[in-house]
Amino acid sequence: MNVTDFIKEQFVDDWLTTIYREKIRTQRTRAFRFGIEPREQSVEIFQTLLGVELKVGNKKVSCPDFSTARYLSIFARIGCDEVAIPYDITKISTLADELESSWQKILLLFFDLTTEKSAATRGKLKASLLKNIRSDLKEIGAGALTPEFRQSTKQRS
């Protein structure tokens, strides 16, 4: 059994892609596209006079608020090009907390399992872990660019 499968077994309900599938994609969302390469990225969040910016590698993305920047930073760090954002902005902060917690637990277990490995081996294993998470997220999908709005205003069917 490889490291990715072992970590996935440890975090059945707290696995990042499980949270994405069951708590994010089940609600109304809109798609967001980063336009980045599928690899681990350096991510920084900046507060500017004009609002919040998320710097992913050399790209800057304007965000409406800090919680959205936190939410997007998790997926950008993994190297996802496209992701779904909940349309209800009141839910983004809670989901960002859950996703960050999941990501930190995954990293802690990963580093515990690979402490005796060489730096090159650890890098290959981490790249494999990230690739696995990216492919799972891509399989789930980001949905439509704009959420679906029902045009009918009838109360009864």
Specify the pTM.
0.86
Cα separation, 86 vs 88, whole angstroms = 5
**Residue 157: pLDDT above 60?**
no
Q: What is the pLDDT of residue 2?
A: 82
Q: What is the pLDDT of residue 40?
A: 85
Contacts of 14 (CB under 8 A, 6+ apart): 101, 102, 105
In the DSSP assignment, the letter for residue 90 is: G
Could you report the per-residue pLDDT of 99-154, keeping only the tens digit for each? Answer: 999 999 999 999 999 999 899 999 999 999 999 999 999 999 887 766 666 666 56
